[in-house]
Chains A and B, each alone.
Chain A
């Protein structure tokens, strides 16, 4: 995917932007949309504070907290994997990426369990405004997690195929996307589950 010569010699990479400009523009664009989501949520929350607070009590904070922990751990695994890859330790890079992938998968399992519990309790998208935003925002974020899992799978393969370090740009692009998924959840979790 990347042209030759992008894997700069060790030491020459001082203050280089990780990944390429394009992925940062994409991340900023995506975060712009989520900022609109957050703003919309706060605006309507302000209009129906009581309803939002009561509905929030029906959420399972443990699921949210566990998912926060999983994504943070996952991000750490991925960051460590890139560190290993830069040291040309491909084997451990692949292991850490697999660990990051498994944490992300754990997030997905918990999320599906949580949605399932809500549906069985008769709570859906149309229950009230709070649950509309809850399902829409965490649902769209969940879609990002699924895409991110595909990305982690892809960069793990890239790492294994390029033990010489030439795949660093691709790995950095993928890791940047995954960190964004993590960051968005770190805002979503307190906003929806905790805000009093």
Chain B
């Protein structure tokens, strides 16, 4: 039993690990701010030619750490399963599949950056195409994350237990997070301004809130696991 709870805690912490690995790598790769969507092909290609090893390293590591995001999703689903009890596990399932989809999207986007840096002497138009592709997938695919957050939110609202798994504010918080992600879905329509992929509502706000959301949810899950572990051991001691 000890082992099970330890692994749950590890999965919950993997969200924190993801944030602390992902964000420094993105900063290292020069994505804050990223190459502007209005830049020409030559300017885009120059980014990859100048720092090709940083993109290779950053992209390759980021692809591998996506597993951290997936097991973090699993740790949340275990908690949603607690809320559902004997009811059909719709919230835990939708949260799980959306989290897995969000992480696979992530892999495809990073692959775009790695491929750009793999042969930086390619024709600039090809590099620009892959760069567009990577950014539009990375920031523009918001629906899996939105539904993931909304699943957590709705499950929290449906919690009728006297000791709820997550506090009720977490339900509202997750709805708010889903709302913040929304404008990033509109980046294909803009090449400049605050709604473009280098703008306030296309990049800074959704990515910043994404990081904060993972940290907050990781701590909420860790707190819930701690309570459940104490309850489980108390029940075990009572049975003896």
Interface positions of A (Cβ within 8 A of B): 1, 3, 20-23, 25-26, 29-30, 33, 36, 40, 44, 125-126, 129, 132, 136, 140, 143
Distance from A5 Cβ to chain B, minimum over Cβ atoms (Å): 12
Contact yes or no, A22 B169, CB < 8 A: yes
Bound Cα distance from A63 to B30, whole angstroms: 45
Contact pick for A22, options B172, B190, B201, CB 8 Å? B172
Bound Cα distance from A30 to B205, whole angstroms: 13
Interfacial residues of chain B within 157-196, with CB under 8 A of chain A in the complex: 157-158, 160, 162, 168-169, 171-173, 175-176, 179-180, 182-183, 186, 189-190, 193-195
**For B205, what are the chain A residues with a Cβ–Cβ distance below 8 Å?**
33, 36
Sorting the interface of chain B by its residue count into under 10, 10 to 19, 20 to 34 or 35 or more gives: 20 to 34
**Known contacts A36-B200, A40-B200; can you find 9 more A-B pairs with CB under 8 A?**
A1-B157, A1-B158, A22-B168, A25-B173, A26-B175, A30-B179, A126-B189, A140-B182, A143-B182
Bound Cα distance from A140 to B190, whole angstroms: 16
Contact pick for A21, options B158, B160, B169, B182, CB 8 Å? B169
Interface positions of B (Cβ within 8 A of A): 157-158, 160, 162, 168-169, 171-173, 175-176, 179-180, 182-183, 186, 189-190, 193-195, 200-201, 205
Distance from B10 Cβ to chain A, minimum over Cβ atoms (Å): 30
Distance from B209 Cβ to chain A, minimum over Cβ atoms (Å): 10
Distance from A77 Cβ to chain B, minimum over Cβ atoms (Å): 25
A33-B179, A40-B200, A136-B186 as given contacts; A23 in contact with B172, CB under 8 Å: yes
Bound Cα distance from A1 to B205, whole angstroms: 31
Bound Cα distance from A25 to B172, whole angstroms: 8
**For A20, what are the chain B residues with a Cβ–Cβ distance below 8 Å?**
168
Contact yes or no, A30 B195, CB < 8 A: no
Between B172, B186, B193, B205, the greatest number of chain A beta carbons within 10 A of the residue's beta carbon is seen for: B172
**For A30, what are the chain B residues with a Cβ–Cβ distance below 8 Å?**
176, 179
Chain A residue at minimum C-beta to C-beta distance from B192 = A129
Secondary structure at the A interface, as helix, strand, loop or mixed, is: helix
A40-B200, A140-B183 as given contacts; A132 in contact with B168, CB under 8 Å: no
Contact yes or no, A40 B194, CB < 8 A: yes
Distance from A140 Cβ to chain B, minimum over Cβ atoms (Å): 7
Bound Cα distance from A3 to B157, whole angstroms: 11
17 A-B pairs whose Cβ atoms sit less than 8 Å apart in the complex: A3-B160, A3-B162, A20-B168, A22-B171, A22-B172, A26-B176, A29-B176, A33-B179, A36-B200, A40-B194, A44-B193, A125-B189, A126-B189, A132-B193, A132-B195, A136-B186, A140-B183
**For B160, what are the chain A residues with a Cβ–Cβ distance below 8 Å?**
3
**For A125, what are the chain B residues with a Cβ–Cβ distance below 8 Å?**
189
**For B179, what are the chain A residues with a Cβ–Cβ distance below 8 Å?**
30, 33
Contact yes or no, A26 B195, CB < 8 A: no
Chain A residue at minimum C-beta to C-beta distance from B167 = A22
Distance from B4 Cβ to chain A, minimum over Cβ atoms (Å): 30
Bound Cα distance from A126 to B186, whole angstroms: 12
Distance from B179 Cβ to chain A, minimum over Cβ atoms (Å): 7
Distance from A27 Cβ to chain B, minimum over Cβ atoms (Å): 9
Chain A residue at minimum C-beta to C-beta distance from B168 = A22
**For B157, what are the chain A residues with a Cβ–Cβ distance below 8 Å?**
1
